[in-house]
């Protein structure tokens, strides 16, 4: 097919269609090998589906920028570079780990019969579905990045490097295998519906559970092992607020994440042809409505409860709505997306209050947003999915659907099974992981470093050296003014 | 020579400066400081949780004047900084032994 | 079609094309229901067109981030969170309002015969064109967001919540109905050309008038009712400058907007097939040239007039160029785009000067950019559109085209008719809206709140608590350093 | 074809597929001119390929925002607006220059037989490949923007305006002609393989050499003529660090650039059909792996050498990896991308050290990143390209491929020829350009302006007026708090 | 009346303020300053190259008190600011001639 | 003991600090302040409209020394801060009654 491509490089001014026809003519005469219409159509189908995965993957990747800005905005100025480094290195280390091991455990060809773990295609060996790999890499990086937020402002960089490898290489991919590989034990994608564990299998279209709950619960476990930031919980039952240093970049992060979610959810159709486009369009709408409803629910709830329109909660509310709809975005109706998003935001709010009450410190609210709203999203599938939605999204047993829309309880039970399995897996493995780190190299920076800020100690940097109060400002020799 | 340290509301600074300038005292040094007095801080919140910010922004003014001008300048500052509400601030007067104008190395009252 | 989709989930390492062929084979044998080539081609056409709308819609949505950064950068630090909240909540409230009511009034199925207002499909009822809805939602959110800039730094949040609902639910959708629905009285999309009100009808390809003028004029009316910020106009005729607090995020906002504009304008082909792609490519070029020319015109004008290369004006100049080309992007030649963009920037500049002169305070220049350059864009269609451009863009009466390129005055008169109608509608309805708010709950925050900043009073927040002069900095208990 | 498009505007609630079928029916009956399947397929191919170029071009354009944030974050607060203005105006002036002249010299139709320079299609005359122009414009703007980083914090704005025109209008387009136009003397895209200068010709898939080296070396030459910033090199051999003022927007810039690179590299397939999609997917993977490996290499190297995880180097490391893979992204295997990216980052690091040693001041590291890693990328093609990779990417002589994977030295020699030619061209022309500027209007701002910051003097602005130490803060009259 | 200028660690500020408040001295003005003393600055790096930041953040406290309260207040500050490590800072006491409360125009000890 | 408050150009700060250090006076406290004197502010612009910024950045230095060292230190500051252009700043000298080193609770001249 190489001759088709070379054409593209001939930047002659022919106009696109003219160029195509000329090129076709050229090559067909030169090579006497003109593709038939059916071949061209098959190529078109493959190209369009592949392009969709790539473009969606680009957007999902861009969520890294969103996470970076969000978490950076929500921590103190003295820990800005540290959390940014963690976000940057997440994508990097995560990419290499997912390349070497992660994909192989998630989707590797020589599946274990148990459905527990994939095996094969490590280092992209014997493998050609590059678009698929790329799309999944972007998801893996997201899962790992979520964790960093819960552990911000006190975690050692070396400890971080270790856990992020384990999460992207092992913990997350195995959940993917369970839920999204055709051989996974929880999966809804069995070739023979009789093989489904129950109902439609575990339905989690874009990963409220597979991605967000994994990140959120791993973060929770890490935060417990790590302990709260110095000064977060005062003497007695006093809880201190530690405000983020830059609400502007925090909001920007929210917008970038929302934007990237349009790759995350609609992209999870994995194809545009064969009805994928119509499904993706519906998913774009449910995603939008859940986000908007999450934002509105959070801003109103904060006004009612605190008397003020709270920006931090609004940002997290939008994200709670998005996380909540991620599992059911393809199978619920738009009105249900409004409900799910709104409740997602309230669940997130509840999570924030709960963590404060039990004395766990999650600086950016990663667990409330991704863990709590993620769990809600998984459950919501069993409550709101319609029969038509299940069918249109390609699930094999559409007669089992949402409890609240008349589909009986079976799918809901299935969702709880999936929820429980993922939660148990993550809590146990992350527990072992963080315990191992804590009792060997240690998780936490020294107290003096926490006081002074991780930026200086780990990275030798002041993130804003020209502004007070942390930097040299006009007092730097090189500033010469 | 006397040194006047005034802690006033930032929003009155422009008026104070203009008043001093009219009196002919252009030299003035200012900075932002945080104050805590009878007027207490504000309650802020972050992700739904309230916290107390104990300090409020104040402007600190340093003016060094010759003894003869002290009253005039202090009055100008006080009058233009006054709103009558809690938080208007204070003026502290102390003695200065010497003043040096860096550019010319002049000393004493002439340098003020 | 569900079986086609499920294939996508089977992440086996087959390579894309191989996978497709295998899947086709699999399903065709399993289901004995292989789609014919013609069906596959029809599906491809639908999928590609739908994907274009979605992707373009994603970009348009992302403009929310651009507006947020632009306006945040152009206000003072003490009002940062407030304007960001308004941007965030615009998208949220606007989305719900457009879902519930807005779409129905714009494109609702049971059209009134008058062409004045649509009716039906409220709450997305009886409705499946999700991609279309999504794309239009993103436009509606943009229109609402523009207004927030004009009213920044002094508008009550509650007042804002009300007007934003009315604009996205009613004021904007009705203009859309007039101009873009096939039944609208101004529309250029009549099935029977004989039904056109005049010439090609009102030609506004991507919405210089429909979107930008609506936002810009609503903002102007609001700014008049609201009055200037304290300190903006001094004693006598003195006009004070109130510099924005962060030119870095302001520039970022401009770049994001420009990027999003590639969804706004090229996406307005609404399809890629049937010539849409070639048209979209041309639109991308005219959009680019107008933006660049707007930037250059503004930077040179500012240098000539003020003696310095003014960043705020340059940013607004690029945007003025973009707004200016939005109506004519499909129907004018590239050289004309250069002219239109440059004049758009100068018109914007004139608007800035004019507002200062008449004592109206528009902190971010939303009216000069969107209102003035938007009106210019509508007029420019009647001046520069070519016959070939009108035909290629699908307008029914290409013999009526731009006055300056020999097409007579009829289209220009039509453009003025559209311009006047939209302006009158917006000024009247926005006038009623803002008057109603002003004389009931009130529009303006108390003076003390304006002094201290809206962030603290409305949101309990300091946007940059670790930096002077507005926050606790090192003096916060939790900062412990 | 206009009737096809108009359909798009009929926003009736039919569902996409239904709408399409109805529309087809409508028009076919109305016009008796239904397109045949083959015509529809040809249209689809053209539309899909064109859309790919557009979308990829949007992403490449968005890199402008990335460059803006990266360079702004890496300079001091007092020069923020100045570097942002340079980035904004780059895109603007560059767009006009590329429209007027640049494209014509790069791809102009009436080629000189020498293969040295294109001629024709100035001002987009007689020209219809709008998608191609747009994509190339975005590349040209990137090349110009790179230069600004090297010259930051001391270059006069007027000098900048002149050089940016010359680079986008002349210096860069001629390199493009050599390497990417079918008539260029270095090109790998000869219709007749016998015309290739050697081996596959100069293989530089997405422009490590054509774009990045051009920008990087022009920046180097400029930096030499301009001299270091005041205070950068102390008395004796002392080298001072001048820290960037905002690592948060610097990191954001990196993420935006990485995101945009997915347009830059995968988009360089220039088509999706005919195998383009599969190639693009592979390119997305190699691009990803090189970026991740670059980030990891840089962070580990900085830890080993300086004892701390250095954020500035990590950011530049990711970029070094990306620049390094840009030439070979289509022709090397994924494992090789990991190697190339890692070495790209180390080469970048070496470049940073080298510049310090020889006393050249490049504030943001544009030469180390784009010049050094760019050269490495060109060479890496000759080391790692596989035979299958060469064939799949459409190169005509796949039997000549990477030295280290068994393809002999011929392609490597060819790459050095390309490298040397580009370097020589850029150094000579940029040398003349900067010398001409220096000895006429002058390049450098007065010392006092450099001390005080270019923002104030050139733009009358304080970029952060509400924060210390550079601005009025609470002392501004209009601030009234 | 006496003026107390204390340069202390920012992290001790809360304790000092609370101690003063317990003693009944609410009026206090603070600011961030940079200090250079026995305790030296820190080494930072930028893109791999180290540089010295010569100053450390310190909190400056200004409290004006009546003569009778001087010892109590100085001791409260010193005791609550002390960590025993290098960098604890210093307290300077000087004379104040007059104090004016802006709001009421009261003068002298009553205005403190 | 004497207190020296110097208001100088920020760009001269490094030289002043180095000079003091050579003299053996490491203890110094600095802050950024805004000054308004003979040298007037700058004109900035925002979206084409000019406005006056009345203050310029200055560095404020506080050094407390024993009486014997006063002249030496004042001269060192003045000489190293001087450029001869308008805006060089001023130095104010006043009396200090007591100095307390927080770390050790030493008092008086020994604590300086
Ligand atoms: N004894 C004091 N020493 C130092 N600063 C003081 C003192 N008393 C007041 N201040 C400063 O003056 C500001 C205003 O004091 P406050 O008691 O609120 O004002 P008012 O006297 O008008 O009620 C305080 O925020 C603080 O900065
Ligand atoms: N003579 C002085 N004049 C002004 N400020 C001083 C003086 N000595 C110390 N300081 C301030 O006190 C701070 C602490 O001084 P340092 O010598 O580090 O503390 P310690 O005495 O506890 O060792 C310094 O950073 C500086 O701000
Ligand atoms: N009388 C004064 N009181 C307080 N600060 C002063 C006084 N005179 C000058 N200053 C400070 O010194 C700085 C320099 O003063 P200026 O008159 O510009 O310098 P010069 O005396 O060298 O001409 C001013 O910006 C201000 O901060």
Ligand 2 pocket member F110 (CB < 6 A) = no
CB contact under 8 A, A461 and D274: no
> Cα-flanking dihedrals φ and ψ of residue B60, to 5°?
-105, 130
Separation of CA F90 and ligand 3 centre (Å):
6
Q: Which of F8, F9, F12, F13 to mutate to test the interface with A (most CBs of A within 10 A)?
A: F13
pLDDT digits (tens, 9 = 90+) for C359-368: 999 999 999 9
Q: Which of C126, C134, C138 to mutate to test the interface with A (most CBs of A within 10 A)?
A: C134
- Whole-Å CA distances, D329 to D146, D366, D389: 21, 21, 9
- Between C54, C94, C281, which is nearest A281 by CB? C54
User: Which protein residue's CA is at the shortest distance from atom 14 of ligand 2?
Assistant: E89
From first to last of its 112 residues, chain F has per-residue pLDDT tens of: 999 999 999 888 889 999 999 998 879 999 888 888 877 778 889 999 988 888 888 899 999 999 999 999 999 999 999 999 999 999 999 999 999 999 999 999 999 9
Range in A29-33, C328-332, C421-425, D258-262 the model is least confident about: A29-33
The answer to whether residues D159 and D441 touch, using CB atoms and an 8 Å cutoff, is yes
Q: What is the mean pLDDT of chain A?
A: 90
pLDDT > 70 fraction of chain A, expressed in percent and rounded: 89
Q: What is the mean pLDDT of chain D?
A: 90
pLDDT digits (tens, 9 = 90+) for A324-370: 999 999 999 999 999 999 999 999 999 999 999 999 999 999 999 99
Alpha-carbon distance of D62 to F44, in angstroms, equals 31
Ligand 3 pocket member B99 (CB < 6 A) = no
The answer to whether residues C456 and C462 touch, using CB atoms and an 8 Å cutoff, is yes
User: Residue C339 above 80 pLDDT?
Assistant: yes
CB contact under 8 A, B44 and C461: yes
What residue ranges in F9-107 does DSSP mark as E strands?
28-36, 42-46, 49-53, 56-65, 90-95, 98-101
The answer to whether residues A65 and D252 touch, using CB atoms and an 8 Å cutoff, is yes
What average pLDDT does the segment D92-98 reach? 97
The answer to whether residues C4 and C10 touch, using CB atoms and an 8 Å cutoff, is no
Alpha-carbon distance of D100 to D215, in angstroms, equals 20
Of residues B34 and A271, the one with the higher pLDDT is A271
CB contact under 8 A, A289 and C17: no
What ipTM goes with this model? 0.94
CA triple C84-C438-C223, angle to 5 deg: 55
Pairing of strands B2-8, B56-65: antiparallel
Taking the alpha carbons at both ends of chain F, their separation in whole angstroms is 8
The answer to whether residues B67 and B73 touch, using CB atoms and an 8 Å cutoff, is no
The chain F residue lying nearest D478, using CA atoms, is F51
Q: Which partners does chain A have (≥3 C-beta pairs < 8 Å)?
A: B, C, D, E, F
Bridge partners for F93 per DSSP = B98, F4
Residue F12: how many CA atoms within 13 Å on its side-chain side?
28
User: Which SS3 state, helix, strand or coil, does residue C467 take?
Assistant: coil
Atom of ligand 1 nearest to the CA of B89: 14
With 0-12 / 13-18 / 19 or more C-beta atoms within 10 angstroms meaning exposed / middle / buried, residue D351 is buried
Q: What is the pLDDT of residue A323?
A: 98
Alpha-carbon distance of C76 to C59, in angstroms, equals 28
CA triple A355-A140-A333, angle to 5 deg: 75
Q: Which of F18, F35, F42 to mutate to test the interface with D (most CBs of D within 10 A)?
A: F42
- Whole-Å CA distances, D356 to A441, C46, C475, D148: 36, 57, 39, 19
The answer to whether residues B16 and B80 touch, using CB atoms and an 8 Å cutoff, is yes
Ligand 1 pocket member B107 (CB < 6 A) = no
Q: What is the pLDDT of residue B25?
A: 84
User: Residue A470 above 70 pLDDT?
Assistant: no
- Whole-Å CA distances, D72 to A31, A64, B100, E91: 52, 20, 41, 41
User: Residue D14 above 90 pLDDT?
Assistant: no
- Between A271, A310, A452, which is nearest C460 by CB? A310
Range in A378-392, C5-19, D365-379 the model is least confident about: C5-19
Q: What is the pLDDT of residue A4?
A: 38
Q: What is the pLDDT of residue A475?
A: 52
pLDDT digits (tens, 9 = 90+) for C151-160: 999 999 999 9
Tokens 């009253």 belong to residue: B71
Q: What is the pLDDT of residue C242?
A: 92
User: Residue C477 above 80 pLDDT?
Assistant: no
pLDDT band at C113 (very low <50, low <70, confident <90, very high): low
What average pLDDT does the segment A6-24 reach? 37
Separation of CA E90 and ligand 3 centre (Å):
27
Of residues C13 and A387, the one with the higher pLDDT is A387
Q: Which partners does chain F have (≥3 C-beta pairs < 8 Å)?
A: A, B, C, D, E
CB contact under 8 A, B99 and F84: no
Atom of ligand 1 nearest to the CA of B85: 22
pLDDT band at C374 (very low <50, low <70, confident <90, very high): very high
Range in A368-372, C24-28, D347-351 the model is least confident about: C24-28
Testing ligand 2's pocket by substitution, the residue of E39, E89, E91, E92 carrying the most ligand atoms inside 8 A of its CB is E89
User: Residue E82 above 60 pLDDT?
Assistant: yes
Taking the alpha carbons at both ends of chain D, their separation in whole angstroms is 62
Nearest C-alpha neighbor of A340 from the set A329, A351, A349: A329
Render the burial of D406-436: b for 16+ CB within 10 Å, e for the rest: ebeebbbebbbbbbebbbebbeebbeebbee
> Cα-flanking dihedrals φ and ψ of residue D452, to 5°?
-75, -20
Q: What is the pLDDT of residue E26?
A: 75
- Between F55, F87, F92, which is nearest B99 by CB? F92
pLDDT band at A300 (very low <50, low <70, confident <90, very high): very high
User: Residue D4 above 50 pLDDT?
Assistant: no
Bridge partners for F52 per DSSP = F43
B32 touches chain C (CB under 8 A): yes
Token pair in block for residue C446: 């108390």
Q: What is the pLDDT of residue A111?
A: 58
Alpha-carbon distance of D321 to D308, in angstroms, equals 20
User: Which SS3 state, helix, strand or coil, does residue C390 take?
Assistant: helix
User: Residue D17 above 50 pLDDT?
Assistant: no
Nearest C-alpha neighbor of A379 from the set A441, A443, A336: A336
Give A-chain residues touching F11 at CB under 8 angstroms.
479-481
Alpha-carbon distance of C419 to C94, in angstroms, equals 24
DSSP B17-67: HHHHHHHT---EEEEEEEEESSS--EEEEETTEEEEE--EEEEEEEEEE-G
Ligand nearest to the CA of B34: 1
User: Residue C26 above 60 pLDDT?
Assistant: no
The answer to whether residues C197 and C417 touch, using CB atoms and an 8 Å cutoff, is yes
User: Residue B73 above 50 pLDDT?
Assistant: yes
Ligand 3 pocket member F8 (CB < 6 A) = no
What average pLDDT does the segment D321-340 reach? 98
Ligand nearest to the CA of E1: 1
Q: Which of B 53-112 lie inside 8 A of A, CB atoms?
A: none
Q: In order of start, what are the domains of chain D with their CATH numbers?
A: 41-444 (1.10.3430.10)
Nearest C-alpha neighbor of F53 from the set A323, C294, D462: D462
CB contact under 8 A, B54 and C471: no
Separation of CA C470 and ligand 2 centre (Å):
28
Token pair in block for residue F72: 């030496």
Ligand 1 pocket member E101 (CB < 6 A) = yes
Claim: this prediction has a pTM higher than 0.90: yes
The answer to whether residues F78 and F57 touch, using CB atoms and an 8 Å cutoff, is no
Q: What is the pLDDT of residue D313?
A: 98
Ligand 2 pocket member F100 (CB < 6 A) = no
CB contact under 8 A, D310 and A458: no
pLDDT band at A132 (very low <50, low <70, confident <90, very high): very high
What average pLDDT does the segment D79-93 reach? 96
Separation of CA B4 and ligand 3 centre (Å):
14
If one counts every other C-beta atom within 10 angstroms of the C-beta of residue C3, the result is 17
Token pair in block for residue D106: 């790069």
What stretches of D120-213 show up as alpha helix (H) in DSSP?
130-150, 157-166, 172-180
Render the burial of C234-244: b for 16+ CB within 10 Å, e for the rest: eeeeebbbbbb
Alpha-carbon distance of C333 to C281, in angstroms, equals 12
What stretches of chain F show up as alpha helix (H) in DSSP?
13-23, 70-81
Give E-chain residues touching B38 at CB under 8 angstroms.
26-27
CB contact under 8 A, D312 and E48: yes
User: Residue C208 above 60 pLDDT?
Assistant: yes
- Whole-Å CA distances, D7 to C175, D3, D28, D43: 20, 7, 12, 16
CB contact under 8 A, F10 and A474: yes
Element containing residue C460 per DSSP (H, E)? none
If one counts every other C-beta atom within 10 angstroms of the C-beta of residue D353, the result is 15
pLDDT band at A263 (very low <50, low <70, confident <90, very high): very high
CB contact under 8 A, D466 and C46: no
Residue D353: how many CA atoms within 13 Å on its side-chain side?
11
What average pLDDT does the segment A239-261 reach? 96
Q: What is the pLDDT of residue F32?
A: 86
Alpha-carbon distance of D242 to D78, in angstroms, equals 12
What average pLDDT does the segment C257-265 reach? 98
Give B-chain residues touching D475 at CB under 8 angstroms.
10, 13, 30, 32, 59
Separation of CA C352 and ligand 3 centre (Å):
38
pLDDT digits (tens, 9 = 90+) for D193-234: 888 999 999 999 999 999 999 999 999 999 999 999 998 998
User: Which protein residue's CA is at the shortest distance from atom 2 of ligand 1?
Assistant: E27
What average pLDDT does the segment D97-110 reach? 93
Give B-chain residues touching F84 at CB under 8 angstroms.
103
Alpha-carbon distance of A410 to D153, in angstroms, equals 66
Q: What is the pLDDT of residue F54?
A: 82
Q: What is the pLDDT of residue D50?
A: 97
Tokens 């799949």 belong to residue: D392
Ligand 3 pocket member B16 (CB < 6 A) = no
Atom of ligand 2 nearest to the CA of F101: 21
Q: What is the pLDDT of residue D468?
A: 62
E51 touches chain A (CB under 8 A): yes
User: Residue E58 above 60 pLDDT?
Assistant: yes
User: Which SS3 state, helix, strand or coil, does residue D239 take?
Assistant: strand
């Amino acid at each position: 097919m190489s001759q088709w491509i070379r054409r593209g490089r001939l930047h002659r001014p022919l106009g696109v269609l003219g160029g195509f026809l000329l090129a076709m003519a050229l090559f067909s005469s030169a090579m006497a090998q003109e593709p038939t219409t059916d071949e061209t159509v098959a190529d078109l189908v493959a190209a369009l589906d592949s392009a969709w995965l790539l473009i969606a993957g680009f957007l999902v990747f861009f969520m890294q920028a969103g996470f970076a800005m969000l978490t950076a905005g929500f921590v103190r100025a003295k820990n800005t570079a540290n959390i940014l480094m963690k976000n940057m290195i997440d994508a990097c280390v995560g990419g290499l780990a997912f390349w070497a091991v992660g994909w192989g455990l998630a989707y590797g060809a020589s599946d274990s019969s148990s459905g527990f773990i994939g095996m094969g295609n490590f280092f992209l060996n014997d493998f050609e579905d590059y678009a698929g790999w790329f799309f999944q890499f972007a998801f893996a990086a997201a899962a790992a990045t979520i964790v960093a937020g819960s552990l911000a402002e006190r975690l050692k960089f070396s400890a971080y490097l270790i856990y992020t490898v384990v999460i992207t290489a092992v913990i997350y991919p195995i959940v993917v295998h369970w839920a999204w590989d055709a051989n996974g034990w929880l999966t809804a994608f069995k070739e023979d519906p009789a093989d489904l564990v129950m109902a439609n299998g575990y339905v989690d279209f874009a990963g409220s559970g597979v991605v967000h709950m994994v990140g959120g619960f791993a973060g929770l476990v890490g935060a417990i092992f790590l302990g709260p930031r110095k000064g977060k919980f005062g003497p007695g039952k006093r809880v201190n607020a530690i405000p983020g240093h830059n609400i502007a970049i925090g909001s920007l992060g929210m917008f970038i994440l929302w934007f990237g979610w349009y790759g995350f959810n609609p992209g999870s159709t994995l194809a545009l042809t064969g009805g994928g486009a119509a499904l993706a369009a519906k998913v774009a709408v449910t995603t939008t409505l859940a986000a908007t409803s999450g934002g509105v629910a959070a801003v109103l709830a904060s006004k009612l409860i605190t008397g003020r329109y709270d920006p931090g909660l609004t940002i997290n509310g939008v994200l709670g709505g998005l996380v909540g709809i991620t599992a059911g975005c393809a199978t619920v109706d738009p009105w249900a997306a409004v409900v799910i998003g709104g409740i997602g935001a309230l669940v997130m709010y509840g999570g924030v209050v709960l963590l404060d009450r039990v004395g766990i410190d999650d600086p950016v609210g990663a667990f409330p947003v991704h863990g709590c709203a993620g769990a809600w999203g998984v459950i919501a599938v069993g409550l709101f999915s319609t029969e038509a939605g299940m069918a249109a999204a390609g699930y094999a047993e559409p007669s089992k659907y949402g409890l609240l829309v008349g589909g009986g309880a079976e799918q809901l039970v299935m969702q709880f099974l999936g929820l429980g399995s993922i939660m148990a897996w993550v809590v146990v493995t992350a527990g072992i992981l963080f315990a191992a780190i804590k009792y060997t190299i240690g998780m936490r920076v020294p107290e003096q470093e926490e006081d002074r800020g991780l930026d200086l100690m780990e990275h030798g940097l002041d993130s804003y050296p020209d502004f007070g109060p942390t930097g040299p400002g006009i007092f730097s020799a090189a500033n010469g003014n | 020579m006397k040194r006047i340290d005034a802690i006033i509301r930032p929003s009155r600074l422009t008026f104070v400066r203009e008043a001093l300038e009219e009196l002919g005292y252009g030299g003035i040094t200012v900075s932002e400081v945080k104050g805590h007095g009878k007027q207490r801080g504000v309650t802020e919140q972050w992700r739904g949780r309230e916290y107390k910010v104990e300090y409020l922004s104040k402007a600190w003014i340093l003016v060094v004047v010759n003894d003869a001008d002290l009253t005039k300048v202090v009055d100008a500052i006080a009058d233009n900084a006054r709103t009558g509400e809690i938080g208007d601030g204070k003026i502290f007067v102390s003695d200065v032994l010497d003043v040096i104008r860096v550019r010319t190395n002049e000393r004493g009252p002439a340098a003020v």
